[in-house]
């Protein structure tokens, strides 16, 4: 794993840059129950002639640097922070899905601050309000920044999620919460969402709280996925904060873990139905492995100016993709829900206007934006670089 860059900060400073620790076991037991059920239950909708499919939308890292926070201050007219305009360009895509998941990489401070950007992020809690307004149903919250402000920052973040009505997976305030799988009802499916991170930048787990952040380890992920399925989940989604920053191609850990997780089966049925990757800051490929879609990295959805390891401003740090997948119910109970349509939407954080731009939709109205064309083409090249087009992945708007 590599370290995060930000402007002129020394590139290899161990104290300032995110730790390059490898993946660790969390030591947690497998989740015992689903969040919205009283206990194990038969899969919902599976095999029913009236079963209803659903669309899933997933997007990349929400990473509010200081400049992003300032933009939200300006958009609020100097009174607090309003992040809603920042997401307005992708709101139609997000709100149009049956289930929409984001990745909240940072943690929240008190209502009135103080707030900070890199290297230890403390974001305004009103980010959550904007995510809810955009149409997100929940987010993964396990990242290398989850413990930037210790257990208090983690608690404030999840408290705000609860307040605005967003679900979350990957971090927890109590052992009971950690052992409860986050689930959604989408169409006639019960969808479980699990989330894990490769590390927490060297910050130790809070004393007496080994369950506070879900750390990425193959056996743990498989056990959790099987427990979620046993408890009634029709579809199991796994968010992984992983990979090598500034590298388009998935690294060896991503390739080997992705292959192992997608190969894991119980009774001939895959334990995991999709992998949603974050962390690399730039768009990475989509690929169908063992019949299961993996997004190695969706890139940043929201971020300030990004500087790569050479110290150069790198526009790729403001590029990302939204994955959109259509799931259909199986022909018989106990079989796998099938992805019948796979799409991606190139997006860009345009710092000149402080907005996330849906590139295909915007270019359809303004074909003279060469910078947007460059971004769209670069994102598409990265997304399709491992042959996803042959498995039906197409660009949408």
> What are the pLDDT digits (tens) for 272-299?
999 999 999 999 999 999 999 999 999 9
Assign residue 78 a region: left if phi > 0, alpha if psi is -120 to 50, beta otherwise?
left
Q: Tell me the average pLDDT of the chain.
A: 90
Q: Place 334 in a pLDDT band, splitting at 50, 70 and 90.
A: confident
- Integer Cα distance of 276 and 388 in angstroms: 15
* Residue 241, CA distances (Å) to 12, 23, 95, 107, 326 in order: 21, 10, 24, 15, 23
User: Rounded distance, CA 319 to CA 390, Å?
Assistant: 23
The pLDDT value recorded for residue 35 is 64
99, two tokens: 């289930």
101-132 tens-digit pLDDT: 999 999 999 999 999 999 999 999 999 999 99
Percent of the chain predicted with pLDDT > 70: 88
pLDDT of residue 43: 44
- Per-residue confidence (pLDDT) for residue 338, from 0 to 100: 97
pLDDT in tens, 22-74: 333 333 444 446 765 433 334 444 434 469 999 999 999 999 999 999 999 99
The CATH number that domain 33-395 falls under is 3.60.21.10
pTM of the model: 0.89
């Amino acid at each position: 794993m590599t370290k995060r860059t930000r402007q002129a900060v020394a590139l290899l400073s161990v104290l300032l840059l995110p730790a390059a620790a490898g993946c660790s076991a969390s030591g947690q037991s497998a989740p015992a129950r689903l969040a919205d059920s009283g206990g194990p239950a038969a899969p919902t909708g599976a095999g029913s002639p009236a079963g209803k499919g659903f669309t899933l939308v997933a997007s990349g890292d929400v990473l509010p640097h200081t400049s992003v926070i300032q933009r939200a201050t300006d958009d609020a007219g100097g009174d607090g922070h309003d992040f809603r305009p920042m997401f307005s360009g992708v709101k139609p895509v997000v709100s149009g899905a049956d289930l929409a998941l984001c990745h909240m990489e940072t943690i929240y401070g008190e209502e009135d601050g103080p707030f900070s950007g890199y290297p230890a992020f403390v974001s305004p809690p009103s980010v959550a309000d904007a995510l809810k307004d955009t149409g997100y149903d929940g987010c993964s919250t396990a990242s290398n920044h989850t413990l930037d402000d210790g257990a208090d920052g983690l608690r404030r973040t999840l408290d705000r999620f609860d307040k605005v009505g967003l679900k979350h997976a990957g971090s927890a305030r109590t052992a009971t919460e950690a052992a409860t799988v986050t689930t959604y009802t989408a169409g006639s499916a019960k969808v479980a969402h699990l989330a894990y991170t490769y590390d927490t930048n060297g910050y130790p787990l809070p004393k007496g709280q080994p369950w506070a952040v879900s750390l990425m380890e193959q056996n743990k992920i498989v056990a959790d996925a099987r427990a979620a399925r046993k408890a009634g989940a029709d579809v199991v989604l796994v968010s992984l904060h992983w990979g090598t920053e500034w590298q388009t191609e998935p690294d060896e850990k991503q390739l080997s873990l992705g292959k192992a997780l997608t190969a894991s089966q119980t009774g001939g049925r895959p334990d995991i139905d999709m992998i949603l990757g974050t962390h690399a800051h730039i768009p990475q490929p989509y690929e169908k492995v063992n019949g299961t879609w993996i997004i190695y990295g969706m890139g940043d959805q929201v971020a300030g100016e990004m500087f790569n390891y050479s110290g150069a401003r790198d526009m790729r740090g403001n590029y990302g993709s939204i994955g959109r997948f259509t799931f259909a119910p199986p022909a018989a109970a106990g079989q796998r829900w099938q992805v019948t349509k796979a799409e991606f939407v190139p997006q860009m954080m345009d710092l000149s206007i402080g907005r996330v731009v849906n590139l295909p939709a915007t270019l359809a109205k303004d074909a003279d934006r060469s910078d947007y064309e460059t971004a769209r083409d670069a994102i598409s090249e990265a997304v399709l670089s491992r042959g996803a087009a042959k498995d039906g992945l197409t660009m949408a708007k």
